[in-house]
Amino acid sequence: MASLEVAKEVKKPKPLSTNSAVAYAVKDLDVDVVSAYPITPQTTVVEKIADFIANGELDAEMIHVESEHSALSAAIGAAATGARTFTATASQGLALMHEILHIASGMRMPIVMSVAMRALSAPISIWNDHSDVMNARDAGWIIYFVSSAQEAYDTIIQAFKLAEDPDILLPVMVAYDGYVMSHTIEPVITEDRDEVLKFAPKRPFPYRLDPDNPVTMGPIADPNWFYEIKYQQVMAMERALEKAREIDEEFRKTFGRGYGIYECFMCDDAEALIVAKTSYAATLKTILPKMWEKGYKVGLLRLRLYRPFPVEDFKNILDKVDAVLVIDRAISYGAPLQGPLAMEFSSLIVKEDLKLNLTSVVAGIGQRRMIDSDFENLVKLAWESRTKKYDRTIFYGVRL
């Protein structure tokens, strides 16, 4: 990409972990209030932000709350008052926030939250999988999965622009792999604050708590009103799809980097696809070229914008292949397919009357090791599934 070359010429990348990259984005967005509670592996996001504030590089109020429940509650209070507000969490913290997740979206609060994804207890595991975010997927938040530290930095900026758009006004989660991404260093280009703020100028909540224009927020809605208010959320979420696409396009024009709302890698002429996200998608991008040389024409559909789900785009992509293999890093116990994402693709296939085989694979639970040869196995499995049906979810790598 020529524009990327240009950007690299002027800007020297910094060696940053994804957590640090998120903190840099928060600084460059001139966030006003940060409300967060420590939890592994999210902690270094907040530590880095604290450093920025302590050194005068960011002027923000940091609320050292006593729980994640209070972290998001305080974030709602701040956003409702008109502050640009950020929080971050993972795992048990996201689970403890669960009640308030729904309230944040129901009250249409433009809060942005990063999630360094981690398994949910029990047994307690501090390691990475996607149980936490999948458990929160129906809370009405816009959800991004990002695959690199650079994409995390860029997406936090896009997320604020999307959240604060008066036509959207929804909270946004930006999720990435705990440890595998949160604690590994990659080169990241950060932008000048002025440029970032020009791209994503602050748009305080339009109906904020203002004594000159008093509003009542969070009232009780009886059966005669509740449904319509929830349906407004449905419509806002639908609008968010095209808005997210536009914002990414504008980001590409401004900063020379763009991702779309999903990524299709080696999809031309592919006969089967693997659906993956975050670091697994990044790893697969290094595996697939080698596998094509061996005759496995398997492409990668990398999930980036997860809520709202890019239905039309995915339909057109799936329509061209004979098989799709969906990797889930969470378990939906007792469900028809135990991979929650596989179930969503399955319903897409039925809904759009597509003719292809779907294979559900659960892998990497609690950060069970997945190395190149494992991904090669999955590519082979995807290839085989063109002609072979796997009716049950495959729990890859589990000891039986």
Partner 1 sequence: MSTKLYRSLFDFPREERFVSGHRLCAGCTIGPVMRLLTKIAGKDAIIVNATGCLEVSSTPYPYTSWRNPWIHVAFENAGAVASGVEAAIKMLKKKGMLNKDIKVIAIGGDGGTVDIGLQALSGMLERGHKVMYVLYDNEAYMNTGIQRSGATPYGAWTTTTPAGKVWRGEWRPKKDIDAIVAAHRVPYVATASPAYPIDLANKFKKALDYLEEGPTFVHVLIPCTTGWRFDPSLGIKLARLAVETGMWILYEIDHGTFRVTYPVKKRKPVKEYLKPQGRFRHLTEEEIEKIQKLVDQEVERINKIVGKEVIGPVA
Chain residues in the site for partner 1 (CB under 8 A): 32-33, 35, 59-61, 63-67, 69-71, 73-83, 85, 99-100, 103, 107, 202, 204, 209-211, 214-222, 225, 229
Burial class of residue 197 in the structure, from the number of CB atoms within 10 Å of its CB (0-12 exposed, 13-18 middle, 19+ buried): middle
- What Rg value do the Cα atoms of the chain yield, rounded? 21
- Residue 25 or 76: which CB sits closer to partner 1? 76
For residue 57, the minimal CB distance to partner 1 (Å) is 15
For residue 214, the minimal CB distance to partner 1 (Å) is 5
DSSP state of 366: G
Contact 375, 287 (CB under 8 A): yes
Contact 358, 386 (CB under 8 A): no
For residue 223, the minimal CB distance to partner 1 (Å) is 11
Q: d(Cα 286, Cα 156) in Å, to the nearest integer?
A: 25
- Residue 35 or 278: which CB sits closer to partner 1? 35
For residue 208, the minimal CB distance to partner 1 (Å) is 8
For residue 28, the minimal CB distance to partner 1 (Å) is 16
Q: d(Cα 107, Cα 119) in Å, to the nearest integer?
A: 28
- Residue 38 or 260: which CB sits closer to partner 1? 38
By three-state DSSP, how is residue 266 classified?
A: coil
- Residue 60 or 188: which CB sits closer to partner 1? 60
Per-residue CA distances from 108 to 55, 63, 307 (Å): 33, 21, 15
Name the CA dihedral angle for 364, 367, 369, 370, rounded to a multiple of 10 degrees.
40
Contact 24, 16 (CB under 8 A): yes
Name the CA dihedral angle for 238, 176, 75, 308, rounded to a multiple of 10 degrees.
10
Q: Please give the order of strands across the beta sheet that includes 272-277.
A: 262-265, 298-303, 272-277, 323-328, 357-362, 394-395
- Residues composing the chain: 400
- Residue 214 or 334: which CB sits closer to partner 1? 214
For residue 34, the minimal CB distance to partner 1 (Å) is 9
- Residue 211 or 334: which CB sits closer to partner 1? 211
- Residue 5 or 66: which CB sits closer to partner 1? 66
Kindly report the three-state secondary structure assignment for every residue of 272-326: EEEEEEHHHHHHHHHHHHHHHHCCCCEEEEEECEEECCCHHHHHHHHCCCCEEEE
For residue 44, the minimal CB distance to partner 1 (Å) is 22
For residue 66, the minimal CB distance to partner 1 (Å) is 4
By three-state DSSP, how is residue 122 classified?
A: coil
For residue 108, the minimal CB distance to partner 1 (Å) is 13
- Residue 33 or 317: which CB sits closer to partner 1? 33
- Residue 86 or 309: which CB sits closer to partner 1? 86
